[in-house]
Amino acid sequence: MGFLRALRGFLTDKSRLNDSEESLERFRSVWGLEPEEEASKSAPGPDASSASEFDRVQWRRKLHHIFEKYPASSGEWPVLMREARALNLDDDWVAAGMREEFTMMIRGLIADRRLSEEEQARLEAARKLIGLDLEQAGDLVRSVVAEAERFFGSDVVIDS
């Protein structure tokens, strides 16, 4: 009970709120904190016009999840695109992320040195989802297949 009484007394004591700047500076230096002016410059406020690095990382994780589970995760796509617009993510950055995830999807599908018709259909559906034209998608597939063939030292079989 004594501890709780002391804690309550500490939390209700308003006199400590008027500490001098010198004592606050000592406190910041001991804890390795930035002065309040600098801290507020480095972190965007809730009304910032662009997404924070944390928001970008989280959005990319969601994008990766969708590609990893696609087509089962296709229902999550509209929500992800709304979130990209709400975060005011740059269109070029979003498109680059989609191309990168599409490339990783190709790598995952040809890891067994074979691209089945079912996997090709999955790639085609993902291509349409992200709005990649046939030529760009074909270039990516050819590039990844050539890379895999060099790595494995044998051909990748593409079913027709």
- Strand (E) or helix (H) holding 158: strand 157-158
Burial (CB count <10 Å: 0-12, 13-18, 19+), residue 111 = exposed
pLDDT at 151 over 70: yes
- At residue 34, the pLDDT reads 79
- At residue 17, the pLDDT reads 59
How far apart CA 130 and CA 79 sit, in angstroms, is 14
- At residue 39, the pLDDT reads 46
Residue spans of the domains in the chain: they are: 53-158
pLDDT digits (tens, 9 = 90+) for 36-95: 655 444 555 555 567 899 999 999 999 999 999 988 898 999 999 999 999 999 999 999
- At residue 142, the pLDDT reads 93
pLDDT digits (tens, 9 = 90+) for 15-50: 655 667 887 788 788 777 877 655 444 555 555 567
Query: Which residue type, as a one-letter code, is found at position 32?
Result: G
C-beta neighbour count of 5 within 10 angstroms: 9
Share of the chain above pLDDT 70, in %: 86
